[in-house]
Amino acid sequence: MSDEDHPKQLKRELDWFNAAVMGLASVIGAGIFVSLGIASGISGSFVISALVVTGLLAACNSLNLAQLAVNHPVSGGIYEYTYKYLNPWMGFIVGWIYLLSKTAVAATAALGFSGYLLNALGINETNFLIPVAEVAVVIITLIVLSGMKVSKVSTLLVVFLTILSLLFLIVVGLFISISHGFDKLISSGIPTSYSNISFFQSVALMFVSYNGAARITMVGEEIVDPRQSIPKAVGLTIGVTMLLYVGVAIASIGTIGAKAFADVTLEQAAPLQAVANSFGIPGAGNILTIGAITSMLSILLTTILGVSRLLLAMGRRGDMPSFLSTLNQSGTTPYWAVLSVGMIITLLVLIGNVKTTWSLGTFGALSRSTIASLAALQLADEERLYPKWMTWLSFLSSVLLIFCVEWQYWLTGIGLIAVGLIWRLTIHQINSKVNLEPSNQ
């Protein structure tokens, strides 16, 4: 499907820098504030090398998405690429996985925001957790409904505050680590339960933490000069993310040690606050709390933006009700799609579970990476921006890592895919009866 096939296109309002900010906003969240501590418990200080390996593999996957987006710059990202370069059924499956996994992660981010905010205010009443999260979802949904210009400003603000808080932790943590000769970093070493598979489990766990490029390509239709802007935005997102992740890992483990870092993650789900509190600097923990709060908001905002564009594309294809493809008069927002994503997240907030959500998110990210690599392998030589070996590396590593995900999440993921396929059969039968079956089926 080419741009001109669409009856009405979203306006191109994002330059490469704002697209990169959106990528950073979608990637700097639970990965660095929560799962980094879990991964350190699995592989000790070797989590640092796991972060580098994961970053390189994620870069290959992200560049696959970038060259697909350059050749097909429309809303819907990997859903549209798989439709075009593989087949409609694979396209639907990857879109369905993205829809479920990302809205679940967004619900967890909303709950995380609520928890951090209530703790910062000194409110321990758990009855407020869900209502505050629901209010956050409503407010962010209204911001996205206001259009891309308002969303750009909001995203830039929360990303700035988040990165500032992380830089504070990195600088102070490295200073403390250096002053002690990196003794805690060295002594952390390899956990007693470590095995070769542990390293790959850490890599798989952190893979979803780098998954920002997919959000950039979801809004490809709104990016100015996509051929130049998308690769630059993806490159900046991956580069900055890797530097921040490695810096935070070294500073955190070097300050309190890998075991303490992992333990506090499981006990409080706020490991970076514990690291900051260990500095002995008044208000240090509050600085990281602000960063955590803004990062959760950024995840929520970029998810509603990205998934609403997915629903827009699925509505155009007939895989979702057609009213989801309706744009506002100015052509800046698919308002029914935005409202629908907001409502899905508000429902998931009621049943969100951090461990389940993150593991399903990992399964979803690796599944999408595998399928994106298959789609990128179909590119003609004149369409390709990067060497083909990079695509093969992304494909093979994604297949390897997906087998490191626990079996129960495999079963859950496969079950959800089956539900999605039943949905697609049903809605296409309904559409065919009212003569709305897409012509390319």
Per-residue pLDDT tens over the stretch 300-357: 888 888 888 889 888 888 888 888 888 877 767 888 999 999 999 998 888 655 556 6
| Cβ 282 vs Cβ 274: under 8 Å | no
All structural domains of the chain with their residue ranges = 11-433
- Over 80: is that where the pLDDT of 380 sits? yes
- Of the listed ranges 12-21, 90-99, 315-324, 370-379, the one predicted with least confidence: 12-21
Q: Return d(Cα 296, Cα 109) in angstroms, integer.
A: 5
Which residues, 6 or more positions from 113, have their beta carbon under 8 angstroms from its beta carbon? 132, 133, 136, 293, 296, 297, 300
Burial 6-26 (b: 16+ CB within 10 A, else e): beeebbbbbbbebbbbbbbbb
- Over 80: is that where the pLDDT of 172 sits? yes
Structure tokens at 408: 């129960």
Q: Return d(Cα 377, Cα 86) in angstroms, integer.
A: 10
Structure tokens at 218: 């979801």
pLDDT tens for each residue of 25-77: 777 766 677 677 777 777 777 788 888 888 888 888 888 888 888 888 777 77
Q: Return d(Cα 235, Cα 93) in angstroms, integer.
A: 27
Q: Which residue has the tokens 């970093």?
A: 185
pLDDT tens for each residue of 127-158: 788 888 899 999 999 988 887 777 777 778 88
Please give the pLDDT value at position 441.
46
pLDDT band with cut points at 50, 70 and 90 for residue 228:
confident
Please give the pLDDT value at position 337.
92
Please give the pLDDT value at position 167.
92
Please give the pLDDT value at position 196.
62
| CA distances for 190 relative to 40, 54, 181, angstroms | 10, 18, 19
36 vs 237 pLDDT, higher one: 237
How many percent of the chain have pLDDT more than 90?
8
Indicate the average pLDDT of the chain.
Answer: 80
The domain defined by 11-433 folds into Amino acid/polyamine transporter I (1.20.1740)
11 vs 282 pLDDT, higher one: 282
278 vs 268 pLDDT, higher one: 278
Mean pLDDT of 385-399: 90
| CA distances for 204 relative to 51, 235, 354, 360, 404, angstroms | 10, 21, 17, 12, 7
Please give the pLDDT value at position 4.
42
pLDDT tens for each residue of 400-421: 888 777 777 778 888 888 998 8
Please give the pLDDT value at position 358.
62
Which residues, 6 or more positions from 40, have their beta carbon under 8 angstroms from its beta carbon? 47, 188, 249, 252, 253, 258, 261, 262, 265
Please give the pLDDT value at position 439.
47
Please give the pLDDT value at position 170.
92
Mean pLDDT of 164-176: 90
Neighbours of 439 (CB within 10 A): 6
- Over 90: is that where the pLDDT of 113 sits? no
Taking the whole predicted model, whether its pTM rises above 0.85 is answered as: no
Please give the pLDDT value at position 34.
64
Mean pLDDT of 276-300: 85
Which residues, 6 or more positions from 255, have their beta carbon under 8 angstroms from its beta carbon? 173, 176, 177, 184, 275, 278, 279
| Cβ 367 vs Cβ 173: under 8 Å | no
- Over 50: is that where the pLDDT of 254 sits? yes
